[in-house]
Structure 1
Amino acid sequence: MSSSSSSSAHSSSLLGSSSHPLTPYGWDAGWEAEFAPYAAQGLVPGRVVRVDRGQCDTVTAEGVVRADTAFVTPHDPLRVVCTGDWAAVDPDGSPRYVRTYLPRRTAFVRSASSKRSEGQILAANVDHAIVAVSAAVDLDLARVERFLALAWESGAQPVVVLTKADLVADPVTVSHLVQDIESAAPGVPVLPVSSLHGEGLDVLAAVVGGGTAVLLGQSGAGKSTLANALLGEDTMEVQATRDVDGKGRHTTTTRNLLLLPGGGALIDTPGLRGVGLWDAGDGVGQVFAEIEALAAECRFHDCAHESEPGCAVRAALDAGELSERRLESYRKLLRENQRIVAKTDARLRAEIRKEWKRRGAQGRAAMEAKRGRLR
């Protein structure tokens, strides 16, 4: 038997084993079936646990190996190798290469911080997106809604964690913060947690255990402390919270995938100063599901929810059933997402221009009618 045939047979035997070494990292029958053609080529499966400048650390059946990503560096930034990918890696050699990666089940993508029309992929094959929100600073519900839109769009189940609950002296205040977040996060668990005292960690671990979770949030939201608490060890470097404003300094500089002691894996990410949407129309709709349901009852299908007759959204606003803040947040995210999509979608650009012209014509006609009445 040739060395390649031997390697292929060895890979197939590992893949078929119920005690595959990669099972703790999320390997399952579905991934096994996807990988079968690459196993036949003698390649070995591995999960990417860290990416750094054209190289990646990939955990395989033999342990963590350093692999070059030169064969998987397309011009599209959304198709580069990222943390969480399942890769097909050379069985040996120096250097070893990632030859391809399996189609992603989910992908967390944001608009790149550059001015170019590009997306940036933060994590792949994630089951839960943990959005960390600090209880020690003023609550920004619009930012929470923004994170949730991206999380829903990724295909993962969002979870909001109210961190640093120990820094809030009054438990009633914590309860009110949770209620405020729940009002902006329909269908999303909101869990208050004190990483310092361990309160709420068991509930969070039970929610995200068994799959892969990505930890997201602003700089200083307490992500690294939360990651250490979930991991049961000081894996992530943490800098002390400032007494003056309750903020910490973000210390994570790369995205790392680590195993949780109770099962499952966690991807920690650097603090995100900017969280731009990237083709997240469905995610925005999920976050503002009650507004979308109301909009479906408006008299006109293209209702802008401003002064049109028969607007169910305005009726809910006037009745106090919908807040002005939430409606404005919805509008803002819709406009932003539309601009992003229009940059990469010529058909939508044309539709937007057509709509602008239609509304402009309506505005001019209204002005002419008004002038006619005044004469």
Structure 2
Amino acid sequence: MSAELLALGLDATTADYLATLPGAAELVPGRVARVDKGLSTILTEDGPVRATWSGGLLAAIAADSQATPCTGDWVALRRWPDDRVTVESLAPRRSAIVRAEVGGSSRGQVLAANVDVVAIVVGLEPEPNISRIERFLALAWESGARPVVVLTKADLVVDADSIAEDVATAAPGAEVLVCSATTGEGLDAVSALLDENATLALLGVSGAGKSSLVNALAGVELLDVQAIREDGKGRHTSVRRELIVLPQGGVVIDTPGLRGIGLQESGEGLAAAFPDITALVERCKFTDCAHATEPGCAVQAALEDGALPVRRYESWQKLQREAAFMARRTDLRLQRETKKQWIRQTKEHRRDNKPRL
């Protein structure tokens, strides 16, 4: 592996995959920095190139939209005699941040791939929305990467440590960091997340300070920033997901502010985001307990004695219902697609075997 590709976050498993592709000697490995409607910017050891999708990749995308290259993906490129460059193959993702597509579709949208750490960036001013943080954590845990909550704008509040304690209570298993891009407080701890050329993805709503954080980590103004609106809501600074290689090492994937995060079949993610409730569920008398009025419900018992906060229980219930709904939609979609494929194959069989007069 070249030093340039290692600096982009290339790992041994992905390198072996790309090196053993058919015709690998004629292919160029690279990492997707950004995607613009079928055209992507790919970082290679010789610099960035612009590439389109190959015919084989387009066929794969038609069968599964998640096969579309996204920011953070590792790909194999082919250079053509007419100077065209096409993405020929997509390496398996070792992690992927996937949310439900906007509009209620049962399909998932990959926000970023091959991420080591997902930083849920939350501004300390205005006061953080704990339930929203829990939703982001479920998404982050499901990705396969390590979740971290980064509380920004510490210079704007006097009780940053107290707020961080409240957030940590709702984020068991996830590190909670406090920082300020303005004063530099806590930036060393955030920068440490990028050790050994790790890839750090930033998620959060508009105005959380993601772009300011990237600039502070880089030590230069790489991204534009905008002031918060008078009503306290953020303005969209980043308009696309983009991979940024930092001068001191490590890779950051900056994402636009997310107004909503729809969960898919987040069973493992929810269990990891709510380990306290998951442990209670395992102690319920009945395995099909709905955790409402059933006798012997450990969840209800914890609510009654105050061990489980009502707010956290309600947040967990809401996400459970949403994940179950998306699972049902996905099952129905797969059933319909299987039926369509069976009908198409049957028609093709009848056509091919039709007696000729």
TM-score by length of 1: 0.84
Please say which of residues 121-130 and 37-46 is displaced more in the overlay: 37-46
- In the alignment, which residue of structure 1 is the partner of 2:115? 126
Compute the displacement of 1:139 (Å).
2.0
Shift, 1:259, TM fit: 1.2
Do 2:205 and 2:234's aligned partners in 1 also have CA atoms closer than 8 Å? no
**How many residues are aligned here?**
328
Partner of 1:273: 259
Aligned residue number for residue 104 of structure 1 = 93
Give the superposition deviation at 1:41: 4.8
Shift of 1:348: 11
Q: Which residue of 2 aligns with 1:86?
A: 74
Q: Which residue of 2 aligns with 1:158?
A: 147
Q: State the superposition RMSD in angstroms.
A: 1.8
- Structure 2 CA distance for aligned equivalents of residues 308 and 156 of structure 1: 36
Alpha-carbon displacement from aligned partner over 1:325-344 (angstroms, at most 9, x marks no partner)? 11111111010001011111
Q: Could you tell me which residue of structure 1 aligns to residue 292 of structure 2?
A: 306
What SS class does the counterpart of residue 22 from structure 1 fall into?
Answer: helix
Contact 1:205/1:262, CA 8 A, preserved across alignment: no
Runs of 4+ in 1 over 4 A off after TM superposition: 346-349
Which residue type is aligned with residue 236 of structure 1?
L
Does the CA contact (< 8 Å) of 2:112 and 2:201 recur in 1? yes
Q: Distance in 2 between matches of 1:26 and 1:139?
A: 32
Alpha-carbon shift at residue 269 of structure 1 (Å): 0.4
8 Å contact from structure 1 (residues 209, 263) kept in 2: yes
- Maintained 8 Å contact 1:49/1:58: yes
Q: How far does residue 33 in structure 1 lie from its aligned partner after superposition?
A: 1.0
1:46 match: secondary structure: strand
Distance of 1:347 and 1:291 partners within structure 2:
31
Unaligned 5+ segments in structure 2 are 336-357
- Tell me the equivalent position of 1:238: 225
CA deviation map 1:125-155 (0-9, x unaligned): 0000010111111321111011000100000
Match of 1:61 in 2: 45
Q: Deviations over 1:327-366 (max 9, x none)?
A: 11111101000101111114999xxxxxxxxxxxxxxxxx
Distance (Å, rounded) in 2 between the aligned partners of 1:98 and 1:348: 28
Q: Tell me which of 213, 217, 222 is aligned to 2:200.
A: 213
- What amino acid is aligned across from residue 216 of structure 1 in structure 2? L
Instruction: Give me the identity figure in percent.
Output: 49
Partner of 1:21: 4
- What is the distance in 2 between the residues matched to 1:295 and 1:115? 29
Secondary structure in structure 2 of the residue aligned to 1:209: helix
Structure 2 match to 1:31: 14
Residue type matched to 1:97 in 2? T
Counterpart residue number, 2:215: 228
Q: What is the deviation of 1:246?
A: 4.2
1:293 counterpart = 2:282: no
Larger gyration radius, structure 1 or structure 2: 1
The partner residue of 1:259 within 245, 256, 260 is 245
Letter in 2 for 1:27: L
- Residue type of the alignment partner of 1:34: Y
Alignment of 1:279-358 (within 5 A): 279-346=265-332
Q: Structure 2 CA distance, aligned partners of 1:240 and 1:253?
A: 16
